[in-house]
Structure 1
């Protein structure tokens, strides 16, 4: 099925996919909504929620998405997991595999992306940034592997040159600005067009408004950013300080590569531990009920023509 004949597009994930950083009257828009219009989707369901972990994606969000019976579904998650003291790459791999596997069994084409290092984005000092970067690389390794496993449309977002452009990021430096969201939508559209799955015009990469300036960045940090950091300090900071101490010890000993290798081995082992993939199309007959009815808190929308 193509174009406006009835493609349904669902988006699962966290605040990145919810649209934070791309404000519109009444809320957020974001790359997924821009892409929905660009591919000529007839209906669009955004299940993504700020703060969501991969466990949330694999449970409530997946249930709602499957009930929507999409043809395309974006699954972009994992960054929030790296910012938790409880980070476990084995659990992340299992949860993403559960989500992508269930969608593949339903015959859904998945969209995935690898994401940039949050420590680098925040400009943290190296003892704090390197452990976060190591975690993000582990998540990206898992996403790469699962994308191949399920034939997903995969965007190497972490490697695109525009990621280094400050204008592509909002005042918090963690979420894309309007321009960043437009770039994500544009790149996904190009990949879908290669597969004949994008009937509409590519999303524009010209923002409607100016990028955030230094004053806006300072205001965000003073009014909201400090609270955001403190909310995570009770969970992340003790663990991050432990990781930073290990980073310093290994750097002094000239052995930081030991930590890199250990993280890589853990990611490889997490993928190897997954159960065999289910065959495509196996789950269509038994799509489970939704945790919330489409059109309520998950926001089904008809894409304007």
Structure 2
């Protein structure tokens, strides 16, 4: 794989399920999910001998939980590259204020800027393509504008998911319609590397035209999705539970990135001994 030399040697990712890699299962990696952050770390590790990577993200986390639980541990690892995606779980909740969420996000960025690391922030996805989340499109757009202003103030790199039209395709999303699948995470990884100006050999995804579904097929899929994902989500909200309860970070310490093939090879050697 072709990669250019870059200035970073210690990368820490913080956030929620998006950064944890949910929707992109890989049994051979820590936590059982790969995701865009692992993919970015894999590319960055190939041009730096002493590259180290930690991923502190946990599914279901709200922005205040990310601030309280992940910022100090991240700073203790002394990263020179930080990615933070936070606030998405807050934005999709009813009656939340994007301006208030943005104020918390700015507080997080102010703290993360302490050691002058490069910080990458993410805009929300343009959800206009999604019947499920189309109603919060305006709210997400307000949050994005606030986030861009924060990024400019603190000289952050913006990973612009709103403009990433490739993921405005239902085939880029997991069956729960909330998380990207392997194709989607791959596209986000490519976007992050472009934002960091790091050359790589990750191939662009070129989806074929979407298959046509009848009205009846679409409604059947909607009902199935509601039973499997929407109803449990509502029940968790009522019970004040999170999908991340009892989950810990998959890569809590910064260390060399081991690609899936290396992890599987280690497992094979261990089974032979």
- TM-score, with normalisation over the residues of structure 2? 0.73
Cα distance in 2 for residues equivalent to 1:216 and 1:158 = 26
Residue in structure 1 matched with residue 151 of structure 2 by the alignment: 147
Cα distance in 1 for residues equivalent to 2:144 and 2:6 = 33
Q: Secondary structure at the match of 1:99?
A: helix
In structure 1, stretches of 5+ residues that fail to align are 208-213, 236-294
Cα distance in 1 for residues equivalent to 2:129 and 2:235 = 18
Residue in structure 1 matched with residue 178 of structure 2 by the alignment: 174
Aligned equivalent of 1:164, options 164, 168, 188: 168
**Distance 1:64-1:138 versus aligned 2 partners, 3 A rule:** same
**Is residue 127 of structure 2 the alignment partner of residue 123 of structure 1?**
no
**Distance 1:218-1:183 versus aligned 2 partners, 3 A rule:** farther
1:30 Cα deviation after fit? 0.5
Q: Secondary structure at the match of 2:152?
A: helix
Q: Is the 8 A contact 2:123 2:144 kept in 1?
A: yes
**Is residue 76 of structure 2 the alignment partner of residue 54 of structure 1?**
no
**Distance 1:218-1:9 versus aligned 2 partners, 3 A rule:** farther
Cα distance in 2 for residues equivalent to 1:221 and 1:229 = 10
Residue in structure 2 matched with residue 65 of structure 1 by the alignment: 74
**Is residue 102 of structure 2 the alignment partner of residue 93 of structure 1?**
yes
Q: Per-residue CA shift, 1:88-135, capped at 9, x if unaligned?
A: 3343222211221122221110011111255x46513xxx843x2222
Cα distance in 2 for residues equivalent to 1:35 and 1:297 = 14
Describe how 1:264-303 pairs up with structure 2 within 5 A: 298=252, 300-303=254-257
**Distance 1:217-1:105 versus aligned 2 partners, 3 A rule:** same
Aligned equivalent of 2:85, options 76, 80, 99: 76
**Distance 1:218-1:28 versus aligned 2 partners, 3 A rule:** farther
Cα distance in 1 for residues equivalent to 2:165 and 2:205 = 17
Q: Secondary structure at the match of 2:138?
A: helix
In structure 2, stretches of 5+ residues that fail to align are 207-217, 241-248, 260-273
Cα distance in 2 for residues equivalent to 1:102 and 1:303 = 26
Residue in structure 2 matched with residue 288 of structure 1 by the alignment: none
Residue in structure 2 matched with residue 29 of structure 1 by the alignment: 34
Cα distance in 2 for residues equivalent to 1:82 and 1:5 = 34
1:182 Cα deviation after fit? 0.5
Q: Is the 8 A contact 1:73 1:109 kept in 2?
A: yes
Q: Secondary structure at the match of 1:48?
A: coil
Q: Is the 8 A contact 2:20 2:250 kept in 1?
A: no
Q: Secondary structure at the match of 1:110?
A: strand
- TM-score, with normalisation over the residues of structure 1? 0.66
Considering only aligned residues, what root-mean-square deviation do their CA atoms show, in Å?
A: 3.3
1:14 Cα deviation after fit? 1.0
Cα distance in 1 for residues equivalent to 2:201 and 2:83 = 17
